[in-house]
Every structure is written in C-alpha cells, then in structure tokens.
C-alpha cells in the first residue's frame, strides 16, 4: 500500500479546512496547521494561496474524474452519453460534499479555474447548448440538474438525508436518464 504524498496530504487538509471553515478559511496558516506542517513546509509545495487553490482544483478534478470512471467502469471517451451522465449523477449524489460545492462556486469566479471544471463537466454531462437543440440531451440535462440539486440541497441546508431516502432519491434521478436506444 502506497502512502499519500505530502502534496496530497496538504490538499486533503485544505479540503478539511474548507469543510469546517468555508472557502475563506483556506489560508496558508490554517492549512499548514491542519496538515501538521510549518507554513514554510507548506509553502515549499504551494508558495501562495492562489497556488494552493489551483492545487485544490486539480485535486478535485482528479478525484471526480477517477470517481466517475469507477462509477462508469470506463473512461468518458469509452462511455455512452447515458453512461457518462449516470456516473456523474452517482458521484454527485453519493460522494460530493459541501466543501467541494463551495470551492467549485469559488472557482467559477476565476476564468482559468472555471475552465478546468467546465471541461470535466462537459466530458461527463450534456451541455446547455446540446440540451437546447436535442430532446434526448434535454431530458439528460434535467437529470443532471436534479443530481446537482440533491448535492446543493444537502450543502445549503447542512442536512444529511436518511441513507435509505437519499438512495431512493438518487435512484429516481438515475431513472430520469433516458435508456440508450438501439441504432
């Protein structure tokens, strides 16, 4: 079993700080303390808060891509649009946290950071442009919004649904994804 790198430990610590204190709580001092490092030790890996935020973004992208590939059992390029959306919905409804949502919202304010996350979402879900012209993509887009809504609900209201009820909601969202039709 391999040990996580110091960089990964720092990024995980940053996510814990964000979960506990919000995005504004992510300071070099707070993350260093959470990671059990000196500020200088943290700055070896992330010389500024901006560098740390970029690192967090990359860390989240790697996590989400990996989680969606695991859920789909294949890469986005190998999966059908329905398989990609089902994988996205599973990850968003089962493993996404409020810190991730807050960070993604924060990243959306910065063009470079937003573009990276937009690329992930575009690989796994139908875009609004596709949904506007394709009825099948429209139905899938509504299912995506439902998955995002469940994630947002739990984050906004600091409410964790009963696991059985949450599973039922997640299954209802998955049922919204149109079945693949034969050519």
CATH architecture of 53-175: Orthogonal Bundle (1.10)
Residue 44 has pLDDT above 60, yes or no: yes
The answer to whether 15 touches 55, Cβ cutoff 8 Å, is: no
**Contact (CB, 8 A) for 13 and 31:** yes
d(Cα 156, Cα 102) in Å, to the nearest integer? 10
The whole model's pTM is what? 0.80
Average pLDDT, the chain: 87
Residue ranges of the domains in the chain? 1-47, 53-175
Of 164, 91, 95, 94, which Cα lies nearest the Cα of 121?
Answer: 91
For residues 174 and 90, the answer to whether their CB atoms sit within 8 Å is yes
pLDDT at 142 over 70: yes
Is domain 1-47 in CATH 3.30.70.600, yes or no?
no
The answer to whether the 1-47 and 53-175 domains have the same CATH topology is: no
How many percent of the chain have pLDDT more than 90?
Answer: 45
Task: Spell out the residues 6+ positions from residue 165 whose beta carbon is closer than 8 angstroms to its own.
Answer: none
């Amino acid at each position: 079993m391999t040990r996580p790198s110091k960089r990964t430990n720092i990024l995980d610590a940053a996510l814990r700080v964000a979960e506990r204190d919000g995005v504004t709580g992510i300071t070099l001092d707070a993350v260093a303390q959470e990671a059990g490092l000196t500020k200088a030790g943290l700055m070896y890996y992330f010389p500024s808060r901006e560098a740390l935020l970029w690192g967090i973004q990359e860390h989240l992208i790697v996590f989400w891509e990996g989680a969606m590939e695991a859920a789909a059992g294949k890469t986005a390029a190998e999966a059908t649009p329905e398989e990609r959306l089902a994988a996205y919905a599973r990850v968003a409804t089962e493993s996404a946290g409020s810190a991730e949502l807050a960070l993604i919202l924060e990243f959306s304010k910065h063009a470079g950071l937003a573009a990276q996350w937009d690329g992930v979402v575009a690989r796994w879900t139908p875009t609004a442009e596709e949904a506007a012209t394709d009825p099948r993509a429209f139905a899938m887009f509504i299912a995506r919004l439902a998955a995002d809504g469940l994630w947002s609900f739990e984050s906004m209201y600091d409410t964790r649904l009963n696991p059985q009820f949450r599973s039922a909601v997640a299954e209802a969202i998955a049922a919204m994804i149109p079945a693949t039709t034969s050519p």
